[in-house]
Structure 1
Amino acid sequence: MKQLFLFFATFFVAATLLAQQKKPLDHSVYDHWKDLQHPIISDNGNYISYEVNPQEGDGWLYLYKVKTHQLDSLPRGRKAHFTPDGKVLVYTIKAPFAQVLHLERQKVKKDKLPKDSLACFYTESGKWRKFGQILKVAIPEKSSPWIAALMKESNPKKSEKKDNTPKKKTKKPSEKTEKGVLLLFNTATMDSTGFRNVTTFAFSQNGKSCVFSVRPSDTTNQVIVLAFHTGTKKTDTLFTGNAVVKNVAVDEKGEQAAFTFSTDTVPNKAFGLYYVDLDKNTKNLVSGTDFKNLRKGWAISTHGKIFFNKAGSELYFGTAPKPLPPLKDTLAPLEKVSLDIWTYHDTLLQPQQKVELKKEKKRNYTAVYFPKENRLVQLATPQLREVRINPKAKGNLSLGFDNRPYLKMTSWAGQWYKDVYLINRETGKRKRIIRKVSGNAYLSPNQQYVAWYNVQDSAWYAYSVKTGKNINLTKTIPVAFYDVLNDVPNMAPPYGMAGWTKNNRFVVYDRYDLWSLDPSGKQKPVNLTSGMGRKKDLRFRYVKLDKEAQTLPDKMLLSAFQLKNKKAGFYSLQIKNRNPRKLLLEDYAFRTPIKAKKAPVIIWRKESFRVYPDLYVSNLNFSDARQISHANLQQKNYLWGNVKLVQWVTFNGDTMQGLLYTPGNFDPAKKYPMIVYFYERYSNRLHRYYAPRPIRSVINFSYYTSNGYVIFIPDIKYRVGWPGASAYNCVVSGTEAMISRYPFIDRNHIGMQGQSWGGYQSAYIITQTDLFRCAEAGAPVSNMTSAYGGIRWGSGMSREFQYEHTQSRIGGTLWDKLPLYMQNSPLFFVPRIHTPLLIMHNDKDNAVPWYQGIELFNAMRRLNKPVWMLVYNGQPHNLSRRADEKDLTRRFQQFFDYYLKGAPEPKWMKQGIPAIEKGHDFGFETERKKDGQN
């Protein structure tokens, strides 16, 4: 205890002089605090780009030159990409924020607002070129100086680009389609070609061919499909006729293309599919005349992605039953019936069917076309809806998944099961190989094995394609491959899989280390990290630097996280020698590194509570790290708190960890109010940075510590059947431990705040103790007996599963465990509450039924206990509108300041805001408390 107090005292002495020069954060700083976003690095590692954007307003795009350390800034730049040679940074210029805001205030329609512009910045010369308003852009992934962009056409008559589009007159079109100018631009020679009235396009990865559709006139139904070849600068006509073209695809080499089309004139069109050999300019009707090559009554789905495999030997697309004609509305409003019929036969509840209706209408089933053989194979069907295609895979096998037998039980089971099938893509033949898998299944690169985790016996298995046998590969290993901290009444999930090696072994994780498993079961499992993780309390995980790699590299980069002291960093691992080598291990949190494709250069970010996650560049060993961004230098002008990892023993005798944040102007001789926040386990977030910003539902730790608050966040360990008592055991014991350990905490001014699951626990805890001066409960479940059978409106699912098997942790049905449902429900203990409570529960909450907050509010109101409820109209579980977020941020602070700091009581708390004054009076004004009032 003396050492801990000495830490705070020492920190105070060192920071006092600086603190006197600084000011606390206030609500005016939010729009000036910036976010570093979308960092990228060129393939050759010579250039880095990233955005720095304010929370509202115009940001900057930066270009950093690695060799010269030169930094260029581009106003309002975003969505940047380097050309493969790194010589050009292609980006969009966002429309000025003030201009867009002004037009929105004038109620200008969204489609009339200014669009982003396209720009090319030349990294070596510093020159740049700007184009018109952009709709879509494509940059070849392979070496090519060409880019393709679809631009908004503001005035076709004044277009500067040459229009090479053929024009013919035909009949009036049956539907409107957004059109623009397709710009094909050579970034090296500055040559460009433009095509007007383009509706959709696709550009090959090597930049050889661009295929696009054109509708020449709004008064015709004619469509033309063209192919522009960048090498010859010639344009071929692939198709012309009265039709609608939706999807276009080109293979990687720019030698083949495909597009969907329909000649129907009705609103709900049936589409066919053409395959085109671009070199020969020949095409095949894949779907066949009158769709004869497809299932009877089926057509090509425009909602399915059309793509070629890497080799160009297979074309994938989606099929579906032909759309039904639209219903004719011939009834008067009084004659219409609006009805949902719920039955016990339904595999999904009606609310879930409604949530998924849009997705269901777009459902399509994967099929494959073999161009050389002119042959089509239907892979997915209504009986096997999911087939996973790896475009880079070699061999003719894929995995299919069928969850239909288990859909109904998802309402209460807490596990999402599926059967796994092996599918031969050449024949369409399928075989069920695994039943009732919870999680994923992985096909080996040589397609001889399928690996998966079995939750029933907590083991990794492999299925042999040759023998049809399943082999338990981890039964002889004396460590757990499941989450050992799992404390919900459900089977624990695995720690996961890193991937397959080149010699077709697959690598999985235990809590600490990596294990290599032989899927044949002949060779013993190998601990690739030699048990170092377990010995040193390090959690190792593979970091994938090559996003296109199909197998694990011989030399792996591992992330490392020390579970007890929360240090993090990276290790290097040679698979052959199994000896992890430390590269970096510090008191920071690290973001996933990004590697240049063709150079040993990486960019990465590190952060702590006091250090914003700026961007760094280094070699693969992190030995020459250099910070290249400084996004929030203004932080030095503000009071900023500190955080420490703390530990205590609960009432039940468990040793737990938590986080204690102290104020930015900390003086150990003073008394500070404290707010206790919690949600499951939080201590692993010791080094997370929290930018000052309006809140969606949870207090901002940086803001409150800057304004003189201590924040305590305890981890919680749960007992099945007793979630409320478990929270009380950890939260209250931890709070009392902090109060007794640190005299600077004012024990008479302790507040509590929780959202969702944390909101429930806040509501429960105040029925068991008067320790807290005030509390806030966001979207709390107050009555588990009524919430149990409710609906999670965001997914449409029943809430039963979460009480029986997941977060709510009761562990049984309402009729089997009724006493536990009641004993864990705050509503039944409202007479015990003496703590003023603020509730936020929005009327469109998509997770916790709104009536849960209403039940608690009405009960406390009936008993004349201090309670307020904030209901943001039309808002979900967590706020999504910035204006509402700013409003909530201010009300939270006024609530806590009133009870914990003795600040004046605002009008909205003292007397409320009548509905008739809604929007006119926000009630933020305050009156000074009377002397002696606490």
Structure 2
Amino acid sequence: MHKYLLLLAGLASAPVLAQQAPKKPIDHSVYDQWQSIARQRISDNGKYVLYQVRPQQGDAVLYLKTADNKLLRQVSRGDSALFTADSKYAVFAIKPRFQDVRQARIKKKKPEQMPKDSLGVYALATGKLTKYADVKSFQVAERAPVLAFLGVKPAVKDSLKKAPVDTIKKITDRLLEVKKEGALLTVLSLATGQPRTFEAVTDYQLSKAGNKVAFAVAAPKGSKTLKSGLFVYDLASGELRQLSRGKGVYKNLAFDDAGKQLAFTAEKHPEKALIKPFSLYYSDFGRDSARVLLAPGASVLKPGWSPSGFGKLTFSDNGEKLFLGTAPDPIPQDTTLVDFEHAKLDIWNYKDDYLQPMQLKTLKKDLQRNYLAVIYPKQGNKFFQLEDEYLRDSYLAENNNAEYVLAVTDTAKRISMQWEGNTRKQAYLVSTLTGKRLAINPQALKSRFQISPNGGYAVWYDDAAKAWFAYSVASHQTVNLTQKTGVSFADEENDSPTDPEPYGVAAWTKNDEAVLLYDRYDIWKINPKTGLATNFTNGLGRQQKLRFRYHLPVEKQKFIEPGEEVLLLTQNDVDKTWGYYRKPVASTKVPVRLAMAPMTYSNVEQAKHARRYLYTKSSVSQSADLYVSTDLLHETRLSAINPQQKDYNWLTAELVHWTTPKGHVATGVLYKPENFDPSKKYPMVAYFYEKLSDGIYRYQAPAPTPSRLDITTFASNGYLVFTPDISYTVGEPGPSAVEYVNSGVEELKKNAWVDGAHIGIQGQSWGGYQVAYLITQTNMYAAAWAGAPVVNMTSAYGGIRWESGQSRQFQYERTQSRIGGTLWEKPELYIRNSPLFSLPKVQTPVVIMSNDADGAVPWYQGIEMFTDLRRLGKPVWLLQYNGEAHNLVKRENRKDISIRELQFFDHYLKGAPAPVWLDKGVPAVEKGRNWGLEVSSK
């Protein structure tokens, strides 16, 4: 054949050959490039969209587009983007290059030498992009195209984490520490393009209306041009006024809604003063200087109390009230004491409300604790203390003009948290007009209280009564909202020895006319005044096993408008598909289906002034891409991330059902390689926690694991992965796992394509416990991996969850461990469900991950399992990641464990050669130089 014809023939056949080429299995080198959508927003007019495409590691890209998918601009490393209220500009940070930050860290550069953020401003109509270098922070006015940003200022050394917890003054000083040197503040009206700059600024705040900016200045020592104090700049007039003079700490700058009032806290005490209480300042801009509204020692305050520097200042929407925090003055430190001559200890007392570890965990928060109060600047500084040490948690209504705030207390009822996990609470409505308190419930309840958006009702779910209640501010009457509905509003699938949780509140309608409550499937619309209830979703949910859920789609939306049409995120409880239904809030008709598919949908975000929706959807084989639509029937796809997926062997997912030995109908998910061949045999790994089947259509990007099984990577590499749902019997958490996991595996083994001799199990935390228990009950598994397992419930029962400082007892008596009684009431159940006492039966090789900074599970539980199996001569390995928590946080550690997991199961389930760490181990003298990941040489 002619050479030219041969060349054409070769070119013609090349695409066919390429299409027939086998796809690659995923390996550990691909993680960093896998992308996700983040920080998506739609402009208020619905015409523009922005979103970030973020790799797992590396530089993100910000995309600015029209709603019909026309690309306006892509910005490398764009982050934290916002649209201005007039929908004319996008404002965003521009992060340093990943490699630049990496090199700076390698060179151990100081914080002030690290690469800095920039700021970008993009004009949507003209396409002009303006950049500003070295920006520390920025603010965009809520209702105007006005921007303020602060340059980078010298770093403040944060030594708080290293501070000795016994020296309260040292910690307090660090909490209040501000760098005396300020930075350059730029204020810019985007409409006019006119900037104004101010030097030595330490803090700033734009008004919502964008008409003013307030800022604090710390003038350098000896400066002849700058003055320390608090200033306000009027953008319209260009007037700059100094409202407060003198060096000090200025905090909590707050404008009212219209930008016509300003409040802030400040202390101007000498640097060496032992106590530095704050004062509350106020200005309506009618005087040259801000006046002191509330000073330390004021007669309206409790003796020894002052305005708090940590309390957030908030004006009511009508500008009449100013909410603030007050607090006792800190106890002065005795500076004559010599630190090394005094004992350092923690004293545990059985009468303490909170265990000492909990107190130490919340020490910083407690030092900043302040108590809500209200003051009326326009009414002679009328003042009421709303909270105090007894009543210290309160909630403002969305309409903060409302008379009452809801306050909740568990004071003197906290010790039972040790074994119940939560506390009983009493709730009050506290008047902002008189300070008077109205008790809602005379006896403490296991409840969660909330206040309606307009402030007309307090609502709560009573765990014991298993019902929702509402208390009317107007009538002082309590109404049972759910007793006449005939359905349960508590978790119908609860299998723990504790009161079931409620399904929750969906939303309120305008003026508190109705509250929307969830049952398992449907949404109920209930009048909080009368208790009159109607099934908003017309019973369609329970009839067709559809779970209807709703969230307010517009940012900062407070309630559902009367004429609004709501979009209901829906999951079919049987086949696990997701989609959306719609229904006008005033309609009595059945919700109309818009979409249902084997996909996962996000909540929708709606443009503030247009009927246009932004959302993501994904499937097991399709990344979560971004879509825009006006009705969810016709949509425009805005992104197409992870095109590289087509080159890799992916996975499929299917629901499986079986009947357990006790006759329970069970459900699980079976993941298969995309190139699955039923004529072949495949090893299988079972991964489980409690129930995972609802996530069958969730996209699972290959990623280094925090300790779980990377299902996608395992399936891509020729494994079947089985995730069985587990239901529990109280007192039998271990046998329940046996009932569901083992029976599900046995059912799948009936298929000729399952290699029954090569099945592994993997679990983390509660799943790790179940792995440890399962291998004491059967030898059917060829390999097991247990992350952060508890193996001895008798010793773990009295331990501490160091992450929170809370006792572990509640977990065993009431929640996940499901024993249902104390160690002394049911010792046989603690022993029977503890794998430790049955370890001699183990024949399965097992790897344990147990990290020395685990704050959830005592890491010595993993040591117990390892040393006892070692004593018994069983094949066991322990991975202890230094300084790591319950789930791995550091990416380098996540990558490491991902490699080791696949190596381990490849060896025992596929016959691959053992790596050095598995075969010979890595001695301490080689730590940091040899990781033992290479194949062992015999």
Aligned-pair distance for 1:358? 1.2
> 5 Å matches for 1:587-736?
587-619=598-630, 621-736=631-746
User: Alpha-carbon deviation of 1:500?
Assistant: 2.4
Matches within 5 A, 1:159-198: 176-177=179-180, 179-198=182-201
Is residue 2:885 matched to residue 1:876? yes
Q: Cα 1:393–1:250, aligned 2, differ >3 Å: closer, same or farther? A: closer
Distance of 2:305 and 2:58 partners within structure 1: 49
Secondary structure at the residue paired with 2:228? strand
Bigger shift: residues 435-444 or 890-899 = 435-444
Gap change, CA 1:123 and 1:280, over 3 Å in 2: same
1:838-865 deviation digits (Å, cap 9, x = unpaired): 0000011000001111111111000010
Give yes or no for contact 1:749–1:900 (8 Å, CA) kept in 2: yes
Structure 1 position 464, deviation (Å) = 3.3
Corresponding residue for residue 365 of structure 2: 359
1:906 aligned to 2:915?
Answer: yes
Residue 416 of structure 1: aligned partner: 423
Match of 2:483 in 1: 475
Name the counterpart of 2:344.
338
Tell me, what secondary structure is at the counterpart of 1:420?
A: strand
Q: 1:564 Cα shift?
A: 0.6
| Structure-2 residue corresponding to 1:787 | 796
CA distance in structure 2 between the partners assigned to 1:134 and 1:62 by the alignment: 21
CA contact (8 A) 1:16 1:665 kept: no
Q: CA deviation at 1:329?
A: 6.8
Residue of structure 2 equivalent to 1:315: 322
**How far does residue 823 in structure 1 lie from its aligned partner after superposition?**
0.2
SS at match of 1:543: coil
In the alignment, what sits opposite 1:126? 127
Query: 1:832 aligned to 2:841?
Result: yes
- Counterpart of 1:89 in structure 2: which amino acid? A
Choose which of 280, 284, 287 in structure 1 pairs with 2:291. 284
* 1:598 alignment partner, SS class: coil
Structure 1 counterpart of 2:714, one-letter code:
Y
Of 130-139 and 608-617, the range deviating more from structure 2: 130-139
Deviations 1:18-55 (A, max 9, x none): 67432111111111112211001111111111111222
Cα deviation digits, residues 225-251 of structure 1 (max 9, x gap): 111111112211211123321221112
Cα contact 1:444–1:504 (8 A) shared by 2:
no
| Deviation, structure 1 residue 460 | 1.5
Q: Structure 1, residues 665-711: CA drift from partner, whole Å, max 9, x if none?
A: 21111111110000100000011111111111011111111111110
Residue 239, structure 1, aligned to residue 250, structure 2: no
Question: For 1:689 and 1:122, how far apart are their aligned partners in 2?
Answer: 35
Map 1:33-432 onto structure 2 (within 5 A): 33-67=34-68, 69-142=70-143, 144-152=144-152, 176-177=179-180, 179-218=182-221, 223-265=228-270, 266=273, 268-281=275-288, 283-288=290-295, 290-328=297-335, 330-331=337-338, 333=340, 335-373=341-379, 374-390=381-397, 392-432=399-439
Tell me which residue corresponds to 2:515: 506
Relative distance call for 1:19 and 1:541 in structure 2 (3 A) is farther
Match of 2:755 in 1: 746
Give the number of aligned pairs.
893
- Aligned mates of 2:198, 2:255 — CA distance in 1: 18
Any idea what the Cα deviations from partners look like across 1:122-151, whole Å, max 9, x if unmatched?
112111111121111111111x22211111
Q: Deviations over 1:423-480 (max 9, x none)?
A: 0012111122123233422334554432211111211122233444433232222211
Partner AA of 1:210 in structure 2: V
Matches of 1:16 and 1:758, distance apart in 2: 44
How far apart, in 2, do the equivalents of 1:262 and 1:362 lie?
15
Shift of 1:56: 1.6
> Which position in structure 1 is the counterpart of 2:13?
none
Task: Tell me how far apart the structure 2 counterparts of residues 25 and 815 of structure 1 sit (CA, whole Å).
Answer: 51
Which secondary structure state, in structure 1, belongs to the residue aligned with residue 745 of structure 2?
helix
Preserved contact between residue 405 and residue 432 of structure 2 (Cα < 8 Å): yes
Alignment-derived partner of residue 584 in structure 1: 595
TM-score, length of structure 2 as denominator length: 0.92
CA–CA separation in structure 2 for the residues paired with 1:174 and 1:425: 33
Counterpart of 1:703, as a letter, is: T
Q: Deviations over 1:740-772 (max 9, x none)?
A: 1x2211101100000000000000000000110
8 A Cα contact 1:692 1:702, kept in partner: yes
The one-character-per-residue Cα deviations of 1:702-750 (angstroms, maximum 9, x if unpaired) are: 111111111000000100000000011000000111111x221110110
Aligned to 2:582: 572
2:462 to 454, 461, 473: 454
Find the partner of 1:805 among 799, 804, 814.
814
Contact 1:544–1:557 (8 Å) recurs in 2: no
Deviates more, 1:891-900 or 1:219-228: 219-228
Cα distance in 1 for residues equivalent to 2:65 and 2:745: 47
Task: Decide whether the 8 Å contact of 1:603 with 1:617 is kept in 2.
Answer: yes
Identify the residue that residue 499 of structure 2 maps to in structure 1. 491
Corresponding residue for residue 815 of structure 1: 824
Quick check: 2:181–2:219 contact (8 Å CA) kept in 1?
A: no
CA contact (8 A) 1:223 1:244 kept: no
3-state SS, counterpart of residue 624 of structure 2: coil
Judged with a 3 Å threshold, the aligned counterparts in structure 2 of structure 1 residues 135 and 293 are, in CA distance, closer, same or farther, namely: farther
- Deviations along 1:303-351, whole A, 9 cap, x unmatched? 2111212222111121111122335374363x33121111111111111
Deviation readout 1:886-919 (Å, 9 max, x if unpaired) = 1111111111111011111111111111111111
Greater shift, 407-416 or 743-752, is seen at: 407-416
Match of 1:11 in 2: none
In 2, Cα distance between equivalents of 1:501 and 1:82: 28
CA distance in 2, matches of 1:609, 1:267: 61
Tell me the distance in 2 between the aligned counterparts of 1:18 and 1:808: 51
Q: Secondary structure at the match of 1:849?
A: coil
C-alpha spacing 1:16/1:301, structure 2 compared with 1 (3 Å): farther
Q: 1:552 to 1:379 in 2, by over 3 A?
A: same
Return the alpha-carbon distance in structure 1 between the equivalents of residues 332 and 520 of structure 2: 55
In structure 2, what residue type is equivalent to 1:876? A
CA contact (8 A) 2:36 2:624 kept: no
Alpha-carbon distance in 1 for matches of 2:180, 2:544: 61
Q: Deviations over 1:136-177 (max 9, x none)?
A: 1111111x222111112699xxxxxxxxxxxxxxxxx99733
Change (3 A) 1:651 1:352: same
Answer yes or no: is the 8 Å Cα contact 2:229–2:246 preserved in 1. yes
- Is residue 305–residue 327 contact of structure 2 (8 Å, CA) maintained in 1? yes
Residue identity matched to 1:710: L
| Contact persistence 1:842–1:876 (CA under 8 A) | yes
Q: Distance in 1 between matches of 2:504 and 2:766?
A: 26
Show the counterpart of 1:843. Answer: 852
- Is the partner of 1:612 in helix, strand or coil? strand
Structure 1 gaps, min length 5? 1-14, 156-172, 930-934
- Taking the aligned partners of 1:589 and 1:365, their CA distance within structure 2 comes to 43
Structure 2: segments with no counterpart, 5+ residues: 1-15, 156-175
